[in-house]
Chain A
Amino acid sequence: MSGAAARLAPVLSSLAAIAGALLVGGLFLEARGKDAVGGYRLMVERGLGSSFGLTEIAIKAAPLLLVGAGLLIALKAGVWNIGVDGQFLIGALAAGVVAPGLSGTLPNAAVLLLAALGGAVGGLAWATIPALLRVRFGLNEIITTLVMTSVAINLSAWLVKGPLKDPDVVPPQTRLLAKAERVPDIPGTEVHAGLIAGLVAVAGVAVLFGATVPGFRLWVLGQNPRAARHAGMDVGRLTAGALLASGALAGLAGANDVLGVRGLFQANWNPGYGLAGFALVYLARLRPLVVIPVAFFFSFLLLGGDLMSRARDVPTQFVEVLEGLMLVFFAVAVALERGRWPHRRRSAAVEGSPGPLPAQASGEAA
């Protein structure tokens, strides 16, 4: 097989997965008596053919890029951060408390930067507990990050209904930031600057893994934890670092939504970017620069789901159905790819999956 075909195969697998999901999703809609073709046309016409649509897509891409950047670091290092939703919520709450708390005392730009920092620190703090449990006690982070998300859902709801609630309004929420207090738009657009943070984050991950020693170490850890240990790397520290960085970026995504879009943190709000982030990073084959277009595509789907629910009476959960279908088809495509080109087996595994479960590594990390 020629080199070009080998390079194209992963791209084709992901595209085939997307096409397959749209097809089966469309058939499902038709089977439920909905107009799938009309719905998809609406997605394209309103989503891509209007400045409203393009603006919305750009805005919705920012948290996906930030979450995706974080998941890239963790998954490339073979660390399973399944608790993105919890880190996101704590980061969002932190930003929603810091920004109104500081507003007026400092220039607005400084307030926003500190609030964003608060969000990142919140997410990082939330990832610290699973990181410690993994490194000190060998507890599998798949389980602990999931449990931490359940804690975060309850904790954030409790805090915003009680101690951190804005006393001047009835609904449980933090104080609403005025439009002028939120993240400013990129000049010439109606897209707030969070998008730049997202793009910088993904580019930063690309540089981290493409050109730095820590990135190389994380990559080795993801490929073969035993080799990393034998090469004298501090596996515990690398693992913790990957989890913390991943949590900080998830927290920053939470801050992005609060400071740039919603202006407040509300009880029982959870957009659930974690699972979407997983699907998106896998479809991008864990390649940082591919994450950017895939994130925009997912954002297009999210907007399309909103549009279809409003105009075509299609429940918004249709987007989740598409994401799930994409993952299934992607999994099948990767398996077929492996079967068809056996000599590429090794690299197919490299691109498609972040290596062995930490279960194997943790025993030795002891």
Chain B
Amino acid sequence: MTDLPVADFLSALLGSGLLLAVPLLLAALGEAFAERAGLLNLGIEGMMLGGAFAGFAVALETGRIAAGVAAGAALGVALGSGFGLLTIWLRVDQVLTGLAITILGSGLTGFLYRDLYGGQNRPLPTTAARLDLPVLTDVPVVGRALFGQPLLVYLAWAAVPIAALVLGRTRFGLAVRAVGEAPFAADAAGIGVAQTRFAAILIGGAAAGLGGAFLAVVDVRTFTDNMTLGQGFLALALTMLGRWRPWRILAGALLFGMLRSLETGLPILGMDVRPEFVGMLPYLGLLAALVVLARRAAMPAALGVPYERGRR
């Protein structure tokens, strides 16, 4: 059976690729809401790191994965409301605010990790429960990878149609898109611009915190300094690549997760490549994809512009 490694390779690629895609998918879906509402959140990176650390700390103290995940999402909501207060209420520059949150997230998590846990590699004692779908897991090659994942993975997948439905077919989704495209018209039509944007950034913050918590608590099962490694920024790029549409964002996140899992997958095929070289490829692929798919993408017209009634 000389072709066995290929099956192993595909299975590993799919299995770890799906896990790697989840934090990106969650963060990018949340950012789609924020950007559709006119808010560019460069703080995602800091929110993800915060969610990762809060999730890790709570899961470690309580021994409960679910508590950690909830804590990550809650911290994301808190940071999101901070972003909202500064950019919507005080009309502070969004890029400035986002970068401030990212610096704070990186600094505070690194500080507390060292201070509380001595900077040691502390693995979580518990593993997230896997939801094995009977029969389906027995499908060769893809079975285990697709249908033997932690519960949160399925929830992340389920978030895609929900996000598409909410953005595309509900009154709230319409309001989000309206305040991002034409806030003055939306205001005149009786839509609360500030409230809608605030709701959108809370969704974005929760999703980013959840993504970070997933990374630390479910996937890696520990915390390390700056463990998000720019994934928050990557989520921004994926949001743009997917043109703020949930299904396209899912496609981008999956593709990117697979490309990143090549790092672990290629050695299975006996290929001797340096991880850094493989690590570079997804980003180059992303740039190429942006050129092909997102050039001259029509951004939400009011993206990055603070709204002030009566001041056009």
Contact = CB atoms under 8 A, between A and B. Distances in A.
A320 B237 contact: no
A278 B99 contact: yes
A80 B99 CA distance: 12
B230 interface: yes
A363 interface: yes
B111 A158 contact: no
Contacts of A366: 296
Interface stretch (A112-120, A194-202, A248-256, A331-339): A331-339
Contact of A321 (B107, B236, B237): B107
Tell me whether chain B's interface is mostly helix, strand or loop, or mixed: helix
A317 interface: yes
Given A318-B111, A331-B97, A139 B103 contact: no
A338 B99 CA distance: 21
Nearest to B305: A356
A299 interface: no
A327 B280 contact: no
A137 B291 contact: yes
Contact of A275 (B99, B286, B305): B99
A139 B276 contact: no
Given A278-B99, A317-B110, A331 B296 contact: no
B294 A324 contact: no
Contacts of B105: 324
Contacts of B94: 357
Given A154-B280, A324-B101, A357-B95, A139 B295 contact: yes
Given A335-B90, A357-B303, A147 B107 contact: no
B24 interface: no
Contacts of B86: 328, 331-332, 335
Contacts of A265: none
B233 interface: yes
B296 A327 contact: no
Given A82-B42, A143-B240, A363-B296, A317 B95 contact: no
A129 interface: yes
A151 B103 CA distance: 21
B296 A282 contact: no
B106 A139 contact: no
Nearest to B299: A359
Contact of B96 (A321, A327, A362): A327
Contact of A332 (B92, B95, B294, B295): B92
Contacts of A154: 276-277, 279-280, 283
A353 B96 contact: yes
A171 to B, nearest CB: 15
Given A154-B277, A359-B303, A360-B305, A147 B283 contact: yes
A29 to B, nearest CB: 9
A325 B305 CA distance: 23
Contact of A359 (B93, B230, B304): B304
Interface in B226-264: 229-230, 233-234, 236-237, 240
B230 to A, nearest CB: 5
Given A133-B287, A158-B279, 9 more contacts: A139-B290, A142-B42, A143-B290, A150-B229, A158-B276, A321-B104, A324-B107, A331-B92, A360-B304
13 contacts: A82-B42, A82-B99, A138-B295, A139-B294, A147-B290, A158-B279, A279-B99, A324-B101, A327-B99, A332-B90, A357-B40, A357-B94, A363-B299
* In the A-B complex, the 8 residue pairs with the closest CB atoms: A320-B107, A324-B104, A357-B304, A327-B100, A158-B276, A317-B110, A335-B90, A137-B295
